[in-house]
Structure 1
Amino acid sequence: MTTEMQDRITSSVVPEELRLNVLPRYLGRHHINGESLVYDWAARLYCGYDGGLWHYFTLSNGGFYMAPANMGRVHVRWHLNGYSDMMGADAFGVTVTLFALCHLAEKTLDDTIIERFHQLREFATQHTEAANILRAID
């Protein structure tokens, strides 16, 4: 097995019956605020966002993210860095979760939240839409 294959971070969708424990596990006492920030950032980055079901994903490096369940490609815009492009629902979820984790880390200065951000960013660099995700969060 090559080193690249060994270093590949994988994601797994969390089954419906286990969803309740995901955010408390990964965000601790900040889980309610963290979830709220994900939805807030979704609305900031995609003007057509109007709620809906989200999937939770765990990562093989210990991280996690959320992504909209019933969304196709969307036009994402972030005025502070001039980003404006299309991305799929999974990439949008990674992007939104990164923004939310960064925001939450700034508010709480919690090392666990900071680690979650870095775990997800590492996954983002391997995502099929890595270029778009990284441009959006830059």
Structure 2
Amino acid sequence: MNNSSNTECSPDEDGLALFEAIKKNLGIRSDLKLEVFANQIFRMAECLSPDYEGDYWKARMISDSVCYLVPTLRPTWSVRVNGNYFEGEMSSDAFGITVTLFVLNQIANTTEQEKDITIYYALRNYALDHQDAALIMAAID
């Protein structure tokens, strides 16, 4: 299990705390890019889990430059990845890491910018020490 300290940032009524955490930790400068990122997270959650019908999300910061998002309404999620035939159940935290990794991978592959690639691998390396590491790695494989 990962013993690295992380802090949570739960959204306030307007969700501003969540958005500010994402902007700060992922280096997103424009509000439009932030909206696009959030929508990618929500769409990816829908694609990966038949259980997903919307949720409240919180950000977990693992360093000054890396965070991931976690849905908060369920303790576990059924996950199906059509591209690699993964099917399993994982904790909300593992599901959040998985969803965020899928989105960060899409971004890194699209932009091919070193910063985006570095953020993806930093979260992936963090996930290797997670209690559900085997499930996360199988899902993103």
Structure 1 counterpart SS, 2:101:
helix
Spell out, residue by residue over 1:35-91, the C-alpha distance to the aligned partner (whole angstroms, 9 max, x if none).
111111100000121112101010037311001011121110001111001101000
Name the counterpart of 1:137: 140
TM-score scaled by structure 2?
Answer: 0.84
Supply the distance in 2 between the matched residues of 1:47 and 1:15 (Cα, whole angstroms).
25
Structure 2 letter corresponding to 1:28: I
2:23 aligned with 1:28: no
SS of corresponding position for 1:86: strand
Q: 1:80 to 1:48 in 2, by over 3 A?
A: same
Q: Does the 8 Å CA contact 2:10/2:57 hold for their aligned counterparts? A: no
Provide the rounded CA distance (Å) in 1 between the counterparts of 2:70 and 2:44.
12
Q: Provide, for residues 11-42 of structure 1, a one-character-per-residue CA deviation record: whole Å limited to 9, x for no partner.
A: 21125464331222214143222211111110
What corresponds to 2:8 in structure 1? 13
1:28 aligned counterpart, secondary structure: coil
Q: Which runs of 4+ in 1 moved over 6 A?
A: none
Deviates more, 1:10-19 or 1:108-117: 10-19
Which amino acid in the other structure matches residue 19 of structure 1?
Answer: L
How far apart in 1 are the matches of 2:20 and 2:46?
A: 25
Unaligned runs of 5+ in 1: 1-6
Task: Verify the 8 A CA contact 1:27 1:34 in the aligned structure 2.
Answer: no
Report what 1:97 is aligned to. Answer: 100
Q: Give the deviation of 1:114 after TM superposition.
A: 1.5
Residue pair 1:34, 1:104 contacting (<8 A) in 2 also: no
3-state SS of paired residue (2:28):
helix
Kept after mapping to 2: 8 A contact 1:9/1:126:
no
Question: What's the TM-score, normalizing by structure 1?
Answer: 0.86
Number of residue equivalences? 132
What are the within-5 Å matches in structure 2 for residues 88-127 of structure 1?
88-127=91-130
Query: 1:98, CA displacement in angstroms?
Result: 0.1
Residue ranges of structure 2 left out of the alignment (5+ in a row)? none
Is structure 2 residue 103 aligned with structure 1 residue 84? no
What letter matches 1:59 in structure 2? I
Aligned identity (percent) is 27
Distance in 1, matches of 2:3 and 2:76, equals 25
Q: CA deviation at 1:112?
A: 2.1
